Structure 1
Amino acid sequence: MRKKYILLSSLIVITLFGCKENKKVEEPKEQKRPNFLFVLVDDQSPFDFKFYDSTSSLDAPTITKLANDGMVVENARHMGAMVGAVCTPSRHMIMSGRTVWSLPSMQGYVNPTAPENLEENTIGAVFNRAGYNTMRTCKVGNSYPQANKQFTVVKDATKRGGTEESGSAWHAEQVLSYLDDRSAVKEEDPFFIYFGFSHPHDIRNGTPELLEKYGATNHTDKYSLPTANDKQPPLPDNYLNKHPFHHGHLELRDEENVSGVWKNRDEITVRNEIGREYACSENIDIQLNKVLSKLEAMGELDNTYVIYTSDHGIAVGRHGLMGKQNLYEHSWRVPLIVKGPGIKANQRVEGNIYLSDVLPTLCDLAGIDIPETVQGTSFKPVLMGEKESLRDVMYGVYAGGSTPGMRTVKKGDWKLIKYDVLDGKVQETQLFNIAENPNEYIAQHNKSAEMLNDLAENPKYADKLVEMEALLLEEMETYGDPFRLWNQEAK
């Protein structure tokens, strides 16, 4: 009996070892490189969306789902502009990863120290060298032409109309056609698609059905007001019919010559214009859904990083302003959503991210070396849940009108804005606690609570004002700001 047991045990051991030795070892699969869909819209405040402002009446189910499936960055901002067309330096910063005072010369701004041949280290060129197929569709003008040309496929045109051919659907069609071409030749190299829209920038000519939904009309008569309609979105909480002092840019197009608005700031005009803005934004949502659905059908969506943002925010009636040439939160901040491999769903972070951080982050996510010309910082650690934010302090500038212009700095809950414009005729300082006063109410909003106001003249916050003034100067020095404000030591 004992001999049988030993023999059986020996057979079992031999069988087990034999199985182990004969087991085929599978080679590890090479990890597929991620794709990128970078979605950039023109002139969109984060507060247009319910996930930034619960009072918004904009319907954007696709973008909202993107936010729920990925990460929403609470504080993402463009660093500013030294020219009136704010989108131009903003798009240069996105493409190059450079900060505002270190960009190439543009539109009257001359920077003799900008790197030569910088376009060779912009998004299209960098991803081409890394073996990506690159494609771009966006508006023409107010951008970075040398960088735009680096993409292999370029389908640019300005489309701000209310039809399939003249509006946002045209941009979506270019992307869908590009994806069809990839499928036809069974392309296996990863792609980088720069999916830019010309809307909701004015002229905000929405499609007829979406204009009807938001009670808006494409008003064209300068000498009459648009028709009032109960369907129009309500006025924003920080609406004013006039800003209390001049913003410093005389005859600024965005404040005086936008068709349908001009210099009007009455309730009917502003509500109609917000309705037009929402009609254009919902159409963008519809077009984005087409592209995301196509990627899902191709089996590519799960391996694609989708980044949604805007070149800057915009006022559209907030604080009595209409354009983006200001440094209030509605215009300085941008929406930023990122979804993709390794990013947990339904995340919301502080971020403190600049648009100049986009390029290094894209490189980091793709495993590409970040060019030495880049000055921004990768926020991949934020996306992967390793950090809550990139930096403690954020700085902003607008010097596209009279100089020095406007400056802002934010740290924690506190924000300072200063105005030194019109050859010293306007010299103003504002101090806000953003946690208590997120809408940046000022005296003209007639709020009774102390914190719901500009606190710059409040003696209780004199020490905080001094602290923020010093911090602003420090940031101006850090970023090579060539100007100084009236109460700062001359450079």
Structure 2
Amino acid sequence: MKIKFTIFFILSLSSFIHATDRPNILFILADDQSPFDLKIYDPKSPLDTPALDKLAKEGVVFDAAHHMGSNQGAVCNPSRHMIMSGRTVWHLPHGSIKKLAPNSSQAEKDAMCPSDLANFTMAAVFNKAGYDTMRTCKNGNSYPQANEKFTVRHDATKRGATDLTGSAWHGQQVLNYLNQREKTKDQDPFLIYYGFSHPHDNREGKPELLRKYGATNQLSKDHPPQLNPEIPTPKLQSNYLARHPFPHGHPGLRDEVHAPGIWERRDEATIRNELGREYACSENIDIQIGRVLEKLEAMGELDNTYIIYTSDHGIAIGRHGLQGKQNLYEHTFRVPFIVKGPGIPAGKRVKGNIYLLDVLSTLCDLANVPIPKTNEGLSFKDVLIGKKETVRDSLYGVYAGGTKPGMRCVKKGDWKLIKYDTLDGTVRKTQLFNLKENPDELLLDHHQQPIISLTGNTPKPTQINLAKNPLYSRKLAEMEQALLMHMRDFDDPYRLWNQADEGLVKKTH
């Protein structure tokens, strides 16, 4: 009996190894989605996402997944470059602005960004490993040379309110591809990059989903939305503000002053309506994910497929009085991140401390594919299988798309530091948060009675910016040093007002 069990165990293990030796990969990417839109991260959220909820129950949810940031207003551009290449934010084709001497060698230039980087990006690496690669996503604000490496590609920007003009179009491209594989009995492993154009504005939701969330498509500045008690829109988040406490540092930024449906308004009705539009678009994404997962299950491919769900970055939509993705608060610096697949435990939450740029090395690690030499990310496979809780101790973030140097942040343990050095030195601010005590990064402004009346949230006295509190001066100094260390390590070409110049030019425009 013991011998029979041993033989059965060995055969089962052999079957598992064989099945996962060439696993499929389904990488799903939303465009502009805060993790706190999802019940998985905020149980109070009214957004319904049954497919993602099921994915989370069957896989691992990351509570500290982040994009590293941006050196331009179109935050999705460097984010998607980092996903494709595994490179850090200042080592990208369009982001390597560290001053090099005119006589710099090719090796020095390649250290900043290899001239042949596209040959070591996601599709190129998996093509070489014998995978079939397929992609559908929005056009623009991406990495064209890397996207061209996919053997099957159907890219188009689809932000409309119908199946032909919205998220269902992307879903149909994946279904068409899977149907073709089934028809031809294709046995090669696949890597599918399943990207959406929503919930990025204009956020034109399908009529039935807009009705569900009490929202209407607002495309005219002259006719702002009105609150309708009979069909209520989602409530304001607890960190909502009518305006940010100080200038954002990027004058004329499209997301803050020109995005259709919001423009410069931050009143309750406008923000609640925009949240309803965001949720309508996000639920439609969930529906399209469900269609593809059902197809994979019907094909018998689901159990041998690693599935990752994430977004290119978060989004504010009224939080902290901001609208876009050009900030470093948690609602924007963090991204949703769920992973399910062979050998991954079900229903587990981990911290992770990962960046989106870690995706490439992790997919390679899971699929037994060599990690490209150009990669700078860290594989989080050991986090997925329970060997580790995190892959790094601290995290760095940047927004330098407006006036320079811009914003920087660092997270370490329960603590987070955000610094602002913008508008030719006229805005120089420091924020220090204990995220365990103040997860929504509430400020003194959130303690004002008019805001409390709107949000229904009464902050605790300690839920404020602690940077000026002498009790935390040592912690502030520790976090300042951690930030400087990361700026050096990642070749950040700028220094902030209270940092040593270190031979770098502090640009102010």
**Aligning the two structures, in what range does the TM-score lie when normalised by the shorter sequence?**
over 0.9
Q: Does 1:476 align with 2:465?
A: no
Instruction: Select which of 459, 473, 478 maps to 1:462.
Output: 473
Question: Could you list the per-position Cα deviations for residues 356-410 of structure 1 after superposition, in whole angstroms to 9, with x for gaps in the alignment?
Answer: 1000000000000101100000000000111011111000000000110000001
- Residue-by-residue CA offset, 1:122-147 (whole Å, 9 max, x unaligned): 00000000000000000000000000
3-state SS, counterpart of residue 135 of structure 1: strand
Q: Which residue of 1 aligns with 2:506?
A: none
Aligned equivalents of 2:265, 2:298: Cα separation in 1: 47
In the TM superposition, residue 177 of structure 1 has moved relative to its aligned partner by: 0.2
Where structure 1 has 5 or more consecutive residues not aligned to the other structure, the ranges are 1-24
In structure 2, what is the Cα distance between the partners aligned to 1:119 and 1:451? 48
TM-score by length of 2: 0.90
Please give the residue correspondences for 1:91-490 in structure 2 after superposition, counting only pairs within 5 Å: 91-105=80-94, 113-230=112-229, 231-446=232-447, 449-490=460-501
Q: Tell me which residue corresponds to 2:47.
A: 58
Pick one of 66, 75, 78 that aligns with 1:89.
78
Contact 2:442–2:459, Cα closer than 8 Å, also in 1: no
Q: Is the 8 A contact 2:71 2:95 kept in 1?
A: no
Aligned-partner residue type, residue 301 of structure 2: E
The residue matched to 2:64 in structure 1 has which SS?
A: strand
TM-superposed CA distance for 1:26, in Å, is 9.2
Aligned to 1:75: 64
Q: Secondary structure at the match of 1:101?
A: coil
Q: Distance in 2 between matches of 1:208 and 1:449?
A: 40
Q: Distance in 1 between matches of 2:87 and 2:146?
A: 13
| Aligned counterpart for 1:31 among listed residues 5, 18, 26 | 18
Instruction: Give 1:470 shift.
Output: 1.0
Larger Rg: 1
- For each residue in 1:52-96, what CA deviation from the matched residue of structure 2 results, as whole angstroms up to 9, or x when unmatched? 011111001110110111000000000000011000000000000
2-structure distance, mates of 1:154, 1:215 = 36
SS in 2 for 1:31: helix
Q: How far, CA to CA, are the matches of 2:283 and 2:138 in structure 1?
A: 18
DSSP-derived class of the 2:194 partner: strand
- Whole-angstrom distance in 2 between the partners of 1:26 and 1:439: 50
* Preserved CA contact (<8 Å) 1:104 1:110: no
Alpha-carbon deviation of 1:223? 2.0
Structure 2 stretches lacking a partner, 5+ long: 1-9, 101-108, 448-457, 503-509
SS in 1 for 2:93: coil
Name the residue aligned to 1:17: none
Contact 2:135-2:192 within 8 A present in 1 as well: yes
**Offset at residue 107 of structure 1 (A):** 11
Distance of 2:468 and 2:298 partners within structure 1: 58
Change (3 A) 1:109 1:54: farther
* Distance in 2 of aligned mates of 1:248 and 1:469: 21
Shift of 1:449: 3.1
Q: Secondary structure at the match of 2:437?
A: coil
CA separation of 1:97/1:107 partners in 2, compared to 1, >3 Å: closer, same or farther?
closer
* Residues 83, 107 of structure 1: 8 Å contact kept: no
Whole-Å separation in 2 of the counterparts to 1:107 and 1:248: 22
Length-normalised TM-score, structure 1 = 0.93
Distance 2:226 2:203 in 1: 16
The share of aligned pairs that are identical, in percent, is 63
Aligned equivalents of 1:311 and 1:42: distance in 2? 6
Q: Which residue of 1 is the match for residue 7 of structure 2?
A: none
Change (3 A) 1:187 1:431: same
Task: Report if aligned partners of 2:351, 2:390 keep a CA contact under 8 Å in 1.
Answer: yes
Partners of 1:79 and 1:354 within 8 A in 2: yes
1:225 CA drift (Å)? 1.4
Distance 1:221 1:279, change over 3 A: same
Would the aligned equivalents of 2:256 and 2:264 in 1 still touch at CA under 8 Å?
A: yes
Aligned residues of 1:72 and 1:348 also touching (Cα < 8 A):
yes
1:229 partner amino acid:
N
- Please give the secondary structure, in 1, of the residue aligned with 2:264: coil
**Does the C-alpha gap of structure 1 residues 453 and 215 become closer, same or farther in structure 2, counting only changes over 3 Å?**
same
C-alpha displacement of 1:116:
1.2
